[in-house]
Structure 1
């Protein structure tokens, strides 16, 4: 197993009593220890006690750890979360519990962050900004059919409005339209995010909590598809000034959008790492896989049982007991412990990217201000990628033009082509028009 997360739980005199309890399946002792020990602590393999509980099929231990706030998103040294390991083991109830807790923890983190975010937005002068997205690919035929878009962003007080024609962009599929995304920081969380479909004249509130049916649909998708982990590795990233000229070399400069004088940098060492596991899928699953996922992601329920309820994916038979004990696990080389669940069916790929970025001192917005704006519109996946990139330690200035990988074969060029501070942005732009009708299922991914 390769290391992708630092270990924050090195061996010490205390050892890992929660982890050891989980190995033994001692629920009573675990319950008493949880009062005095850190439920988020990771061992030398990067595993939390929750990782071990789901890998070993200790269902009661897993439920107890979740009740005490065990983090669901944390990854071990191999880059896998407890949810990924639970999908591999295949117990439906455990997977459902982890999905619910993951969503709850995400809401709680956002609520903690929310007052600071609204305060930060309120301190930025009101503005209008345009971002141009051009998607391109090193695969020639793909490049011809990729979309482009100009996003218009309005900021007034703690409100943000984004107008776009690109609704979603996932796995080489995209949806076009006339969409407005509205954030109203002065409203309650349940009413603060709204998406408008301006062609159909409908709107959908971005809800904080999913229904039971939506949770169970998501569990069906997770149990029916590959376990995926993709991340942008920036460990070896380097920025160097791009050069121009054949004989007399000099640092490249460019005026972006005819306004912003910029220094051009070449980015090297950017690696898109993609990993895939499918030990929980049968041959029959793999054949049905695509049709099931397409059906669920389009909002179609599966076949109904005699009571008119959706037929849900059943738990898998537990994997055979590997016989690994606590001592052999704990004494193993970090990240190379014996297998605890199903034998991995695993594929890893990586792609190196060389990109360019234009940094300008002339742009009126700071990177920190941009990060606050992007945090609000992160439900759009491509904006979440942009935020992730801009959050890196960039050279001096503001990134007025960026190339970033979106998918293994697709790169996006984002250009900040217009920006102006404005005091005349009207309040009605942040309201839902009176003739729009609510459609809670218009955007199933939001």
Structure 2
């Protein structure tokens, strides 16, 4: 599940695309019409391949939804952003899964991974400088998952993330790798970013190059984050995308968020304070947040739905849900779906529609939408020795962990003064997480070997298929 913010930062329009004159969208119009020659000409003259229209769609969105495969390839070759989301929160990859053309899904998936690697590589010098500006430290984040659904809270996981920083290196230890719906993976997991090293030392050698690595300390295996999968591993991932689950987007709507100081006392009211670990904190009530969730399944067959239902029932009946990896034995290679009928929609009908509500261009949707409003509390401390900016830099490094990515997206909001030592965030419509920064101390004795792969660990290239 991907968590995004619909507060104007995600799914919105660039300044150029917000202009009312839709003639300023030549790439979009060429993609809509499948006009390969015009599309290539506009790209050669430098038109913005990332530009969004009033519905938040890029030209790549339109080409994918209409099945214009050659246009898709040209746009990808010019760096069209695969992860860009429209106003409804759908990425181009999500739309390609709905359309069901396997070669197109493969192209988008490969390009998405390439763009993620390139983005991290370009951000690496900034992250290294940001880490070097702060003393070495040790920090703990406690995660408590809760639900308003009776009995569900009893089976939800909890975790304490331990973060170590030495120089420009970060290590995060966790027992919770991933959390989604009612399935999670437990274990003894370490994520290591080595900023000043061009490689991780492996068995005393230096043949494998990567600043990012995830280690399973129980199995004594590791996965380099920049590794390319084998063709079989890649095909397995494509099969799972096409047949194993709904297409889901969850948008954290924060346009009307408000922070109000909490009060204590019956007669004489005063601002409420709380000790969070050793940190004196001001307590705030948080309102005006909702989690909008959309699920689509038009790409799934009745057989897929039945098989997925059986897997979900199996996961709920296990006493210790863990490691729900599906191998190629669970699914046959998924062929492309028959293309949907071409919609009888003109360019003017599309572009002149109300913003965010265009006529649908792709496969007829089977979409379920829900919205859940949240009220929460948070504690802000002026005593915490780290800034929110530094927290964001650290979380940017470890955002392959999905629940940490949600935390990062939440704290990008304009928060009250101080550091958020305790906050609540919505994870799913029925589940929230309370995160407590319960310990922080500066340390100058962290050994370098704690940020390297142990010599007795073996490489397992697809141990963490979702990362």
- Tell me whether the two structures share a fold, i.e. TM-score over 0.5: yes
Residue in structure 2 matched with residue 307 of structure 1 by the alignment: none
Question: For 1:15, which of 24, 28, 31 is the aligned residue?
Answer: 24
Residue in structure 1 matched with residue 395 of structure 2 by the alignment: 374
Aligned residues of 1:122 and 1:157 also touching (Cα < 8 A): yes
Cα separation, 2, equivalents of 1:388 and 1:62: 29
2:449 aligned with 1:428: yes
- Tell me, what secondary structure is at the counterpart of 2:119? helix
Cα separation, 2, equivalents of 1:153 and 1:38: 40
The residue correspondences of 1:284-299 to structure 2 (distance < 5 A) are 284-290=303-309, 298-299=325-326
Aligned residues of 1:299 and 1:444 also touching (Cα < 8 A): no
CA positional deviation for 1:283: 2.6
Aligned residues of 1:180 and 1:195 also touching (Cα < 8 A): yes
- Tell me, what secondary structure is at the counterpart of 1:235? coil
- Tell me, what secondary structure is at the counterpart of 1:401? strand
Q: 1:322-357 CA distances to partner (integer Å, 9 max, x unpaired)?
A: 222223323333333333222222110011111111
Q: Which runs of 5+ in 1 are unaligned?
A: 304-309
Question: For 2:238, which of 219, 239, 242 is the aligned residue?
Answer: 219
Residue in structure 2 matched with residue 191 of structure 1 by the alignment: 210
Aligned residues of 2:237 and 2:465 also touching (Cα < 8 A): no
Larger deviation, residues 92-101 vs 5-14:
5-14
Q: 1:329 to 1:378 in 2, by over 3 A?
A: closer
Question: For 2:176, which of 163, 166, 191 is the aligned residue?
Answer: 166
Residue in structure 1 matched with residue 380 of structure 2 by the alignment: 359
Cα separation, 2, equivalents of 1:216 and 1:292: 21
Cα separation, 1, equivalents of 2:188 and 2:32: 53
The residue correspondences of 1:56-135 to structure 2 (distance < 5 A) are 56-135=66-145
Q: 1:336 to 1:378 in 2, by over 3 A?
A: closer
Question: For 2:329, which of 294, 302, 305 is the aligned residue?
Answer: 302
Cα separation, 2, equivalents of 1:120 and 1:248: 45
Q: 1:444 to 1:219 in 2, by over 3 A?
A: closer
CA positional deviation for 1:299: 4.3
TM-score (norm 1): 0.91
Cα separation, 1, equivalents of 2:220 and 2:52: 49
Q: 1:222 to 1:433 in 2, by over 3 A?
A: closer
Q: Which runs of 5+ in 2 are unaligned?
A: 1-5, 200-208, 316-322
TM-score (norm 2): 0.87
Cα separation, 2, equivalents of 1:331 and 1:200: 56
Q: 1:327 to 1:166 in 2, by over 3 A?
A: closer
RMSD: 2.4
Cα separation, 1, equivalents of 2:156 and 2:337: 40
CA positional deviation for 1:242: 0.7
Aligned residues of 1:11 and 1:43 also touching (Cα < 8 A): no
CA positional deviation for 1:121: 0.5
Residue in structure 2 matched with residue 141 of structure 1 by the alignment: 151
- Tell me, what secondary structure is at the counterpart of 1:321? coil
- Tell me, what secondary structure is at the counterpart of 2:151? helix
Q: 1:51-107 CA distances to partner (integer Å, 9 max, x unpaired)?
A: 111111111111111111111112223322222222222111111111111111111
Cα separation, 2, equivalents of 1:179 and 1:153: 12
2:48 aligned with 1:38: yes
2:260 aligned with 1:240: yes
Q: 1:311 to 1:134 in 2, by over 3 A?
A: closer
Question: For 1:6, which of 8, 12, 24 is the aligned residue?
Answer: 12
CA positional deviation for 1:377: 1.7
Q: 1:198-249 CA distances to partner (integer Å, 9 max, x unpaired)?
A: 3333333233533333332222222213221112111111100011112221
- Tell me, what secondary structure is at the counterpart of 2:93? helix
Bigger relative contact order, structure 1 or 2 (CA pairs below 8 A, ≥6 apart):
2
